[in-house]
Structure 1
Amino acid sequence: MGRIVYLDNLRVFLTMLVVVFHTSIAYGGAGSWILKDIDDSELSVTVILLSIFTGVCQAFFMSLFFFVSTYFMPASYDKKGPLAFLKGRMVRIGIPLLFYYFIIGPITSWIAHFYSNMTLSQFYIQKVFSFEQNFFGPAWFLETLLYVSIFYALFQFFTKPTKENEKTRNFPKGKTLVLIAFIFGFIAFSVRLIYPTGTGIWGLQFGYFPLYLLLMWSGVAAYRHKWLENMPVKLIKTWKIIGLVMIPVFPVGLIATGALSGKLNVSGGMNTQALFYALWEPFLCFGICIGLIVYFQKRWNVTNDFINRLRESAYTVYLIHPPVIVGWTMAFRTLELPSFVKFLIVAPLSVATCFIIAFLILRAPLVKRIL
């Protein structure tokens, strides 16, 4: 299977969005991050705006990342077979995952919080090698892809699907998508009764996984059944509108359920806000994902030398962006600037720096075989 240019470009966009997303958390957006430069315990315009931004992004961008990643999985498996497929995944995903867990993650955390209290070797002995903390960080995405790759290879090997399973099938109808959205919203709400958002094991936040798993399956199905080449025009227009409408529905729904009076609990539990948030997510996710895929099909199905450089560097950028964001956050921490202004400066600086460093890293011998 050759490169699909618009999906490569979409992946570059999503990688940039990850960098901006984590930078926004550093300056007040809702979510957990390695180092913050704001007192987000107090409500402010910056906290509200960036939290809306992170809330909207969280509802779709990692799900879409999984969709794009698993879309290419069947072609790779079909070409290589199970053993070569798994070997390639262990190299391309397993090695970077280990490198992040034992090198990038710990060193970033040490610089952000511990360098003045203990040496790096002490930090590794007390925190890393003792496994007192986990350092998956954003590499939980790679961790998940590795598990999914192993499961997919085993499933394909033992079930041996026939060509009948791969024929073109119609894209799901609008009513089907609505039903699926409600079903998975309720599933997410139920999961979050046990694992509120932000909690889980081994760096995996289980409260978000119902949508992740659905979009992973959808990526494989989209490839097998040629969904991306056969999306109905009317359905596209409808769901693009739904996706855009869901953006203002998010803050309005939270305000209506008491957010401005200090009542904010969307992470989980038997409450109205958690139910609203869980049901809202899949509708925005489906709408924005469909809209972005079609937009990149029509407007960004192009390439040139510069775009090729970005595409080649995107995976490396994902791996190295945490220390870059932390570095720029620390550099601007002493400056007396409003948090939102710092965000507007640090976010593009971080994106540009990540791609420059990634470009240089990829010039090293043998690195391209892994990244």
Structure 2
Amino acid sequence: MSPQTTSSALIPDHPKGKIVYIDYLKVLLTALVVAHHAFVTYGAPGGWYYSEKTTLLGATMAMTMFVAVNQSFFMGFFFFLSALFIPSSYKKKGAAVFIKDRFIRLGIPLLFYSFILAPVMNYLVYYHAGKHHITFLQFLSGYDSWISVGVLWFVVALLLFSLAYAAWKSFSKSEPDVWPMPAVKNVLRFGIALGVVSFIVRLGFPVGWTLDPVGFQLGHFPQYIAVFMVGIAAAESNWLGKLSSECYKTIKIIALCMIFIGFPLIYAVKIVFDNPLEWFSGGLHGEAAFYAFWEQITGACIMVSLLIYGRKRLNTHSLFLSKMSRCAFAVYILHPLVLISISLLLRSWGVDPAVKLLIVTPLGIVLSFLLGYIVVKIPGVNKVI
């Protein structure tokens, strides 16, 4: 089967040809996921299996800016792209087959990650970084984290969202509403509304708070839920066919201003008032409100900008990018193992972690895609991911 006709579990079956840029945007997002976790490994805020944090202030600021901007859109955009083709997949397969397909293509990777990959990765860190020189079987005898979805929290959420869509369709027999293409002002209103809801949710569930064992950071879920619903509406209203580059310049300028002016202002607020960094994560604080609005407006503008740029610049077939797109889900699943392995191999290298980041990020992306490309060639595996 050629790359042009093979679907991915992240994005259900969809018509090819006129929207190949969606697959290529998926490649970009997957590479950003790998880079994001490399940055967290070496200095950016966030939790990861293994970390060596740099003490260089400038490097820490740059890493923090990268992951903050990334977080504003990349996982939400994944949900949007996944939602775009769910209505057509549901209509083509019917409720029973659609649900069965989602459980197979999302559930099997979840089981593999939790029961095989996660124990192996935790053992590598325990053995090499923790210097506990025991056998893998000895490690397993005391291992108690069998329900460990790790980065596949996204898959859990996507499965739940897909089931919710199927349930809604089973009760709603009317034809879906056709929504007009959002204008620039509506994109901004959407970002502002998400900022309000995110701030409210983070009063009880600040950024960083995780719902175990599924790994959901509820402080980010207003965006995930909203953009998934927008993706459904976009599919049913044919927004992809109506995308225009006329609003691209305005949206792009707003996004760039939010990144290069807005984020430094957040840092300035932290320096001037010297309040705890946790105040930006949630709670009844001005910093939390500022960050929530910045994040959601930035994310909305970046997502729209990427869609328009993709249609304008990336909508031509590339065999190389098609192959990379085909293995993107495998990369998403396996990249933690690749990053952990490289990081542990470089652990004894006596340079600042910021220097290691410059090596690990591109190497991690390349090796993750190579491994993913090999894995999707395995008979049986290629029918799941």
TM-score normalised over the length of structure 2: 0.89
2:257 counterpart of 1:245: yes
Question: 2:155 corresponds to which residue?
Answer: 142
Tell me if the contact between 2:34 and 2:365 (Cα under 8 Å) persists in the aligned partners: yes
CA distance in 2, matches of 1:292, 1:356: 25
Specify whether residues 176 and 359 from structure 1 end up closer, same or farther in structure 2 by C-alpha distance, changes over 3 A only.
Answer: closer
- Write the letter of the residue equivalent to 1:196: P
Q: Does 1:126 align with 2:148?
A: no
Mapped partners of 1:296, 1:232: distance in 2: 11
Cα deviation, residue 243, structure 1: 0.9
What are the within-5 Å matches in structure 2 for residues 338-349 of structure 1?
338-349=352-363
**Which 5+ residue runs of structure 2 have no aligned equivalent?**
1-13
CA distance in 2, matches of 1:355, 1:256: 38
Q: Secondary structure at the match of 1:193?
A: coil
Check if 1:98 corresponds to 2:105.
Answer: no
Amino acid at match of 1:88: D
Count, aligned residues: 363
Match for residue 329 of structure 2?
315
Shift of 1:43: 6.0
Give 1:232 deviation, angstroms.
4.7
Q: Counterpart amino acid of 1:249?
A: I
1:331 aligned partner, one-letter code = L
**1:137 offset after TM fit, Å?**
1.2
Q: What is the alpha-carbon distance in structure 1 between the residues aligned to residue 62 and residue 259 of structure 2?
A: 12
Matched, 1:64 2:74: no
1:97 deviates by 1.1
2:182 equivalent to 1:182: no
After superposition, the C-alpha distances for 1:205-258 in whole angstroms (9 at most, x for unaligned) are 000000111110011111100112223544332211111111023432223322
2:25 counterpart of 1:13:
no
RMSD: 1.8
Aligned position for 2:8: none
- Identity level (%): 34
Cα gap change, 1:113 to 1:250, in 2 (>3 Å):
farther
The one-letter code sitting in structure 1 at the alignment partner of 2:311 is: Q
What does the per-residue CA deviation read over 1:12-71, in whole Å, with 9 as the maximum and x for residues that have no partner?
A: 1100110011101111012111111225xx561111110110000000100101100111
Give 1:172's aligned amino acid: P
Tell me the distance in 1 between the aligned counterparts of 2:275 and 2:138: 41
TM-score by length of 1: 0.92
Is 2:258 the counterpart of 1:258?
no
- Cα–Cα, structure 1 residues 185 and 85, in superposed 2: closer, same or farther, change >3 Å? same
Closer, same or farther in 2 for the Cα pair 1:359/1:210, shift >3 Å?
same
Higher deviation after alignment, 106-115 or 264-273: 106-115
Deviation at 1:98, TM superposition (A): 1.2
Structure 1 residues 305 and 181, CA gap change in structure 2 (3 angstroms): closer
Q: Distance in 2 between matches of 1:339 and 1:200?
A: 27
Distance 1:281 1:255 in 2: 14
1:173 to 180, 183, 187: 183
Q: Cα distance, 1:188 vs. partner?
A: 0.7
- Kept in 1, the 8 Å contact 2:190–2:300? The answer is no
Partner SS for 1:303: coil
